[in-house]
């Protein structure tokens, strides 16, 4: 989305947002075997020193624990794209929770931190302060990643496994391309719960209801296809992702990300 700025030389356009992971080097790897039930991946992202455009993080239905600017932070689930304030030269280390896992680690429903970054010390108190002090001693990003996993492994015995129904909801909505209403009916039958119970559990584990989660995961299907597809235009990508048509795709991306589908695909291709 182009933002107009008033200057003494007339109006100028600010740099367009850049997708997170595209602004600079991005790495992703599996967590340790001990943590894999609770976490999907460990990742790191470097914001180049010359980076001037704002970074945009697409909603993905997930929650991440971050190490950034010498602080441990929790990035709650987003409904629309997030625009974190990242200083050029910053390295961000993250570890992403498995679906339904963050509730047990953080001790609160995800609906309380939707669209927010929360200092882990506000949730864990002294333990988070102690962990941050130890993390500050690690020099390289690899050392920090190894230490963060070691510290989380200390907490692991006190944390219950992720809720199975949360994983079922997430994976069914992520991989199915039917209408949201039909998918919710399937979920209700599979989980043998009422619609009200499903909605409550989704708010607890994902921060919002199943229809919003479905919308966000459909966007993620589109992003995955756009990264790997070698043929077909936006209409084909829209159909494969589960959108009604290209216009539906365009409206959803504009609403969730603040940019056009064409702009998004060009950034992915670059």
Domains of the chain: 4-158 (no CATH), 164-269 (1.10.10.60)
Q: How many other C-beta atoms lie within 10 A of the C-beta of residue 266?
A: 12
Which ranges of 108-209 does DSSP label H, i.e. alpha helix?
A: 121-124, 126-137, 141-155, 164-175, 180-191, 195-206
pLDDT of amino acid 8:
41
pTM of the model: 0.89
Angle value at C-alpha 37, between 25 and 191, nearest 5 degrees: 115
The model's pLDDT over 208-253, given as tens digits with 9 standing for 90+, comes to 999 999 999 999 999 999 988 766 689 999 999 999 999 999 999 9
pLDDT of residue 182: 84
Rounded to whole angstroms, the Cα distance separating 194 from 256 reads 28
User: Which pLDDT score is estimated for 13?
Assistant: 59
Strands 117-119, 71-75: pairing is antiparallel
pLDDT digits (tens, 9 = 90+) for 149-168: 999 999 999 999 999 999 99
Q: pLDDT below 70 — which residues of the chain?
A: 1-15, 52, 230-232
Residue 15 to residues 12, 51, 55, 62, 81, Cα–Cα distance (Å): 9, 10, 10, 28, 17
pLDDT of residue 2: 35
Q: How many residues does the chain have?
A: 270
Residue 88, classed as helix, strand or coil, is coil
**Long-range contacts of residues 212-216, Cβ cutoff 8 Å, at least 24 apart:** 212/79, 213/61, 213/169, 213/170, 213/173, 214/173, 214/180, 214/183, 214/184, 215/180, 215/252, 215/256, 216/59, 216/60, 216/61, 216/79, 216/256
CB 94 within 8 A of CB 42: yes
pLDDT on residue 231: 61
User: Please, which residues bridge with residue 46 across strands?
Assistant: 91
- Look at residue 154 in the predicted model and tell me its pLDDT: 97
- For residue 19, the 8-state DSSP code is E
The pLDDT assigned to 52 comes to 67
Q: Give the per-residue pLDDT at 173.
A: 92
Residue entry with tokens 């602080």: 71
Predicted pLDDT of residue 74? 98
């Amino acid at each position: 989305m182009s933002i107009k700025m008033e200057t003494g030389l007339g109006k100028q356009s600010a740099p367009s947002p850049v997708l997170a992971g595209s602004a600079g080097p991005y790495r992703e790897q599996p967590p340790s075997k001990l943590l894999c039930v609770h976490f999907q991946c460990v990742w790191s992202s470097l914001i180049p020193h010359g980076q001037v455009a704002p970074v945009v993080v697409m909603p993905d239905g997930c929650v991440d624990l971050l190490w950034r600017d010498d602080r441990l932070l929790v990035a709650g689930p987003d409904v629309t794209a997030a625009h974190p304030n990242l200083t050029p030269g910053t390295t961000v280390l993250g570890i992403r929770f498995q679906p339904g896992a963050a509730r047990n680690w953080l001790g609160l429903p995800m609906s309380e931190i939707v669209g927010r970054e929360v200092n882990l010390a506000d949730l864990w108190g002294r333990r988070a302060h102690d962990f941050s002090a130890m993390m500050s001693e690690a020099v390289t990003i690899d050392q920090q990643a190894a230490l963060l996993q070691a510290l989380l492994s200390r907490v692991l015995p006190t944390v219950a496994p992720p809720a199975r129904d949360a994983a079922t909801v997430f994976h069914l909505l992520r991989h199915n391309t039917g209408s949201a209403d039909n998918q919710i009916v399937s979920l209700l039958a599979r989980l043998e719960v009422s619609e009200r119970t499903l909605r409550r559990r989704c708010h607890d584990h994902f921060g919002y209801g199943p229809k919003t989660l479905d919308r966000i995961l459909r966007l993620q299907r589109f992003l995955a296809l756009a990264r790997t597809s070698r043929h077909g235009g936006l209409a084909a990508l829209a159909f494969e992702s589960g959108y009604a048509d290209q216009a539906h795709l365009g409206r959803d991306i504009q609403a969730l990300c603040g940019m056009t589908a064409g702009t998004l695909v060009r950034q992915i291709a670059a």
